[in-house]
C-alpha cells in the first residue's frame, strides 16, 4: 500500500516532528507504517521519505538508494557525486553532526516539492546517532551523496525543506535541472 505524499504548503512539513519511545517504535502500528513508507518511497521513486511527508509528525525516515537508480550514471558522474547504492534502512529520533568543513553543491529534488529542483550546499561527511526500526541505538557515518540524503531527510524531521537552503537562482523544473546537469557545471548555473 502506498501513502499520499503531502506537498509544500502543508503545515506538517514546517513542524518539528515528535520523538518516539522504544515501545512506540516496536508497536505494530509503527512497524506497519515503516513498511508503507518504504513502499511509498520506492513507488515514487525516491531515495528517502520522512514521516512528515506522509502527514505524520514523527521523527522517522526511511532511506534507500538502489543500484538501479544510478545505473545510467557514468563512473565519472558517480565519482563526482560520491554516490553508491545504500541499502534500505530506518532512522528514528536522529541526531545529526556535521563532520569537517568540506561541502559540495548539487541539485536536489524532493517528493514534497514535486517537479522542481535546486542547487543546495551540504556537508560531505556526517555522523548520525539514532534508533533503528527495532529501537536499537545505531551510529551512521556517511560521506558524499549518502550524507546528503541523511541531511535532507533529517531536515524534514525538523520542519525544513531544501528550498530553505537552496541557491535561489538555481531553482528550476526537474526537466531543466537534468538538461543543465548534462550541459553545464553548477558554477555556471549560479552565475
Q: Is residue 1 a part of any domain in this protein? A: no
| Contacts of residue 113, Cβ cutoff 8 Å, sequence gap at least 6 | 7, 8, 161, 162, 163
Contact 93, 130 (CB under 8 A): yes
Instruction: Identify the pLDDT of residue 124.
Output: 98
Q: What is the DSSP letter of 17?
A: P
b/e burial code for range 85-119 (CB count within 10 A of at least 16 → b): ebeeebbbbbebeeeeeeebbbbbbbbbbeebbbb
Number of domains, the chain: 1
Q: Which of 24, 153, 175, 191 is catalytic?
A: 153
Q: Is 136 a catalytic residue?
A: no
Q: Is residue 78 a part of any domain in this protein? A: yes
Instruction: From 65, 63, 35, 68, select the one nearest 50 (Cα to Cα).
Output: 63
CA distance 190 to 137: 40
| Contacts of residue 10, Cβ cutoff 8 Å, sequence gap at least 6 | 55, 112
pLDDT tens for the chain, 191 residues long, are 899 999 999 999 999 999 999 999 999 999 999 999 999 999 999 999 999 999 999 999 999 999 999 998 889 889 989 999 999 999 999 999 999 999 999 999 999 999 999 999 999 999 999 999 999 999 999 999 999 999 999 999 999 999 999 999 999 999 998 887 666 544 444 44
Q: Is residue 3 a part of any domain in this protein? A: no
Domain that holds residue 90: 11-183
* CATH code at position 77: 3.90.45.10
Q: Is residue 32 a part of any domain in this protein? A: yes
Contact 126, 99 (CB under 8 A): yes
Q: Is residue 20 a part of any domain in this protein? A: yes
CA distance 1 to 182: 35
Q: Is residue 5 a part of any domain in this protein? A: no
CA distance 102 to 122: 9
Instruction: Identify the pLDDT of residue 179.
Output: 82
Q: Is residue 188 a part of any domain in this protein? A: no
Instruction: Identify the pLDDT of residue 188.
Output: 46
Amino acid at each position: 500500500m502506498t501513502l499520499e505524499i503531502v506537498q509544500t504548503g502543508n503545515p506538517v512539513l514546517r513542524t518539528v516532528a515528535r520523538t518516539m519511545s522504544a515501545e512506540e517504535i516496536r508497536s505494530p502500528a509503527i512497524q506497519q507504517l515503516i513498511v508503507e513508507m518504504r513502499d511509498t518511497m520506492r513507488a515514487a521513486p525516491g531515495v528517502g521519505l520522512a514521516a512528515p511527508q506522509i502527514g505524520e509528525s514523527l521523527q522517522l525516515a526511511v532511506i534507500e538508494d538502489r543500484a538501479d537508480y544510478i545505473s545510467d550514471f557514468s563512473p565519472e558522474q558517480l565519482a563526482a557525486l560520491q554516490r553508491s547504492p545504500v541499502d534500505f534502512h530506518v532512522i528514528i529520533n536522529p541526531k545529526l553532526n556535521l563532520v569537517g568543513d568540506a561541502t559540495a553543491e548539487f541539485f536536489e529534488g524532493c517528493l514534497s516539492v514535486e517537479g522542481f529542483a535546486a542547487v543546495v550546499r551540504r556537508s560531505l561527511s556526517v555522523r548520525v546517532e539514532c534508533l533503528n526500526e527495532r529501537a536499537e541505538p545505531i551510529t551512521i557515518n556517511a560521506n558524499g551523496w549518502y550524507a546528503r540524503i541523511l541531511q535532507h531527510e533529517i531536515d524534514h524531521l525538523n520542519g525544513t525543506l531544501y528550498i530553505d537552503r537552496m541557491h535561489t537562482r538555481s531553482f528550476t523544473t526537474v526537466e531543466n535541472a537534468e538538461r543543465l546537469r548534462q550541459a553545464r557545471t553548477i558554477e555556471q548555473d549560479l552565475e
